């Protein structure tokens, strides 16, 4: 039974990589995991969730009312993108980059629209990674 769970987890990870949810950074994180710290990746990802919730909330607040500080929005998204990059969240990172492009163009509607995509990609990845970590246990 345990071997089957491991195979399912390996298949799921391959699928997440193939579908572009994750990139090679996630594999690098897993390479740092060892017997002394068997939950290293899951702990790093949980820190990402904590940081991300704060970034998302701050960006939501900044998008609510004008005047809009595009430099501040860009900086907040830059931090979120860096955090996403640290765990290999490829699709989230890509959406963050698009948000930054709208910030540079000072396009608030573009920012709002793509931010929905950022949140959707983040939520999808979170659900998929939670399932993956359950299989890994």
Tell me, letter by letter, the H, E, C secondary structure of 26-62: HHHHHHHCECCECCHHHHHHHHHHHHHHHHHHHHHHH
The string of pLDDT tens digits covering residues 27-68 is 999 999 998 999 999 999 999 999 999 999 999 999 998 899
Q: Can you point out the beta strands (E) in the chain?
A: none
The string of pLDDT tens digits covering residues 80-133 is 999 999 999 999 999 999 999 999 999 999 999 999 999 999 999 999 999 999
Say what the pLDDT of residue 136 is: 85
Check residue 89 and report its DSSP letter: B
Q: How many CB atoms lie within 10 A of CB 62?
A: 17
For the chain, the average pLDDT equals: 95
């Amino acid at each position: 039974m345990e071997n089957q769970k491991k195979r399912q987890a390996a298949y799921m990870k391959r699928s997440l990589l193939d579908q572009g949810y994750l990139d090679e950074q996630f594999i690098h994180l897993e390479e740092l995991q060892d017997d002394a710290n068997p939950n290293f990746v899951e702990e790093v990802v949980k820190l990402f969730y904590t940081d991300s919730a704060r970034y998302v909330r701050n960006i939501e607040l900044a998008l609510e009312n004008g005047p809009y500080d595009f430099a501040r929005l860009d900086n907040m998204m830059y931090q979120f993108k860096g955090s996403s990059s640290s765990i290999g969240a490829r699709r989230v990172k890509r959406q963050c980059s698009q948000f930054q492009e709208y910030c540079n163009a000072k396009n608030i509607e573009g920012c709002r629209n793509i931010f929905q995509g950022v949140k959707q990609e983040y939520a999808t990845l979170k659900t998929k990674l939670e399932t993956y970590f359950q299989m890994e246990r």
